[in-house]
Amino acid sequence: MYCTKKITDDLTWVGGNDRRLAMFEGVYSVPDGVSYNSYLLTDDKTVLFDTVDRAVSTVFFENLAHTLDGRTLDYVIIQHMEPDHSATLSELILRYPDVKIIANAKTAVMMKQFFEFEVDSRTLLVKEGDTFETGHHTLTFVMAPMVHWPEVMVTYDMTDKILFSADAFGTFGALNGAIFADEVDFNRDYMDEARRYYCNIVGKYGTQVQALLKKASSLEINMICPLHGFVWRSHIGDYIDKYVKWSTYTPEETGVMIAYASVYGNTENTAEIIASRLRDKGIKTVMYDVSVTPASNIIAAAFQWSHLLFASTTYNAGIFVSMEELLRDLAAHNIQKRTVAFVENGSWAATSGKLMREIIASCKDMNILEETVSLKSSLKPSQDDQVNALVEALSNTIPQFKPAQAASAETEASVDPNALFKLSYGLFVLSAKDGEKDNGCIINTVTQLTDTPKRLTIAVNKQNLTHDMILKTGMFNVSVLTEDVPFKVFQHFGFQSGREADKFDGSIKAVRSRNGVVYLPDYTNAFISGKVIDALDYGTHTLFVAEITEACILSQEPSVTYAYYFEHIKPKPQPAEENKKGFVCKICGYVYEGETLPADFICPLCKHGAEDFEPL
């Protein structure tokens, strides 16, 4: 009996789910199963997008026959020749002998390698940018080599703005009755499997994935139909953002992923002690026993976390076998841009540390810490300094906040409660001080949290230097900007980074408050000093909860609101020159000239991403 899902009026999912498969590609465990997606477009012509794995062939052919409803199959587009999508192609041809294959030249070569049927006479070759009319729909083809094999292409339905994305944007996990990602709690129930799928299947090919994302950024996409997992019709930008992060090897979480190999528990004990001491410092940790957790899960975690600690016993004069496999696998998957530390163990000749280091040193942009712990059978109290030095070295590379003491009576006396009435959905200069360095940035997220004691929250983008300074020092000032603030203040604090510029070089007047942090006396009606008591990680931003240690009114000018800024302060975009193609940043007005805006483009002025640009 057929089991299909309607995607649009004339597009139907005709794939199948496999929950009996133990190891996908013979390598990756799939405890929640996997779906093999195939889609049938029933336009004037009937067009199938890929076939399925042999495991679900029975239901696939029933689904196809039911959806065709007596019509013949005119075309099958082969986007990817890996047999989890093409294994049933020869049977498809037996059942529908007149079907024509749409494929690129590389795919045609592979078809001849895999199958015995006559390829050339029934294949319509396409290349980048070619179009194909199915009746009401126009399809165009976009080459996506190495996402995940060299012949891969994706197809864009220009009529309904649907991207058939082959392996890209897929996930492990059977569909369980739903077809759209928004029918399930994807972040809670599927994101870990989506990450594991990405990192293990195409993690090695970040550059090629970025190339596909760049091409996709020029397309208006209403829906993504991948070959595994759910169809995306909402929150597409959020999922693309994940792909931008994963393909650029950017960590999603700040903290330490610890993977250990321990035969009799002594290396594990050391890893536990290090994790415990990191937690005491407020640093997030996750731990995996490489003999228990499949490598694919640990690889996904390594893509997720910013810091990696590998602890391994020495085994046969080398690295413990499952740890060696993991590290070689990680290197093969192109892991990069991480801070890494090692712990070794060896009862008579410890070599695992040196060998682990050599593997990771072959990866790009790794910050390998000198500090290490070398065990002879087990950790001894005399090695406490070694452990602490390693913990300290990790901690020094992770900006953290220091919990504040309760506000003193003297502090309370310096808080003018009326200063808090100046807060609105406004714009603020957030300033901090780390050693001799003063810095500040623009934020629009200051909210009073409680009245007794007086507390506020600020949400700060992790890319800002001010963010890291506040994490480290726990101190900041908020200057509440007023309606007379000139645009140059936004340019000064918002469109350049404190990593390259000295924002308190005297060009904008600044005064120091009791906490030693500067605030702006001009164009502000109040300043508020905060001492951080909690920091909550919200992905791109940290939400700081702070006690107010000082607050003063500086003027009676009205606070500037976000709406006022857009209406009266931000320069209006100049009319585009005729025929000039480009995109304008909605935040600061920067103009990017070009036909297409790369998906991972970051505004050089205000650092906002491509999602904040609109066509000229």
What is the distance between the alpha carbons of residues 536 and 544, in angstroms, rounded to a whole number?
6
Of 567, 569, 575, give the one whose Cα is nearest residue 591. 575
End-to-end CA distance of the chain: 52
Of 571, 562, 589, give the one whose Cα is nearest residue 427. 562
User: Which residue number, 85 or 195, has a Cβ lying nearer to ligand FEO?
Assistant: 85
* Least distance between ligand FEO and beta carbon 48 (Å): 16
Q: Which amino acid is at 59?
A: V
Are 35 and 170 a contacting pair, CB within 8 Å? no
* Least distance between ligand FEO and beta carbon 420 (Å): 55
User: Which residue number, 151 or 600, has a Cβ lying nearer to ligand FEO?
Assistant: 151
Q: Report the DSSP beta bridge partners of residue 127.
A: none
User: Which residue number, 38 or 67, has a Cβ lying nearer to ligand FEO?
Assistant: 38
* Least distance between ligand FEO and beta carbon 282 (Å): 41
* Least distance between ligand FEO and beta carbon 162 (Å): 19
Helix (H) or strand (E) holding 214: helix 206-216
User: Which residue number, 212 or 227, has a Cβ lying nearer to ligand FEO?
Assistant: 227
Are 164 and 49 a contacting pair, CB within 8 Å? yes
Backbone φ, ψ for residue 456 (5° rounding): -140, 165
> Tokens for 404?
């504040």
Q: Is the peptide bond before 453 cis (omega within 30 degrees of 0)?
A: yes
* Least distance between ligand FEO and beta carbon 249 (Å): 20
* Least distance between ligand FEO and beta carbon 202 (Å): 8
Of 419, 267, 432, 411, give the one whose Cα is nearest residue 350. 267
Scanning the structure block, which residue is given the tokens 């960590």? 251
Are 601 and 592 a contacting pair, CB within 8 Å? yes
* Coil/strand/helix, residue 532: strand
What is the distance between the alpha carbons of residues 170 and 148, in angstroms, rounded to a whole number?
11
* Least distance between ligand FEO and beta carbon 198 (Å): 12
User: Which residue number, 148 or 422, has a Cβ lying nearer to ligand FEO?
Assistant: 148
Q: Which amino acid is at 398?
A: I
* Least distance between ligand FEO and beta carbon 334 (Å): 17
User: Which residue number, 85 or 454, has a Cβ lying nearer to ligand FEO?
Assistant: 85
User: Which residue number, 68 or 211, has a Cβ lying nearer to ligand FEO?
Assistant: 211
What is the distance between the alpha carbons of residues 514 and 516, in angstroms, rounded to a whole number?
5
* Least distance between ligand FEO and beta carbon 188 (Å): 24
* Least distance between ligand FEO and beta carbon 145 (Å): 13
Q: Kindly list the distances between the CA atom of residue 31 and the CA atoms of 20, 41, 59, 201, 604, in Å, as whole numbers in the listed order.
A: 9, 31, 21, 17, 44
Binding site for ligand FEO (CB under 6 A): 80, 82, 84-85, 148, 167, 227-228
* Least distance between ligand FEO and beta carbon 235 (Å): 23
| Residue whose Cβ sits closest to ligand FEO | 82
User: Which residue number, 167 or 329, has a Cβ lying nearer to ligand FEO?
Assistant: 167
Q: Which amino acid is at 258?
A: I
Of 285, 289, 288, give the one whose Cα is nearest residue 275. 285
User: Which residue number, 179 or 427, has a Cβ lying nearer to ligand FEO?
Assistant: 179
User: Which residue number, 194 or 432, has a Cβ lying nearer to ligand FEO?
Assistant: 194
- Three-state SS letters, 243-286: HHHHHCCCCCEEEEEEEEECCCCHHHHHHHHHHHHHHHCCCCEE
User: Which residue number, 145 or 582, has a Cβ lying nearer to ligand FEO?
Assistant: 145
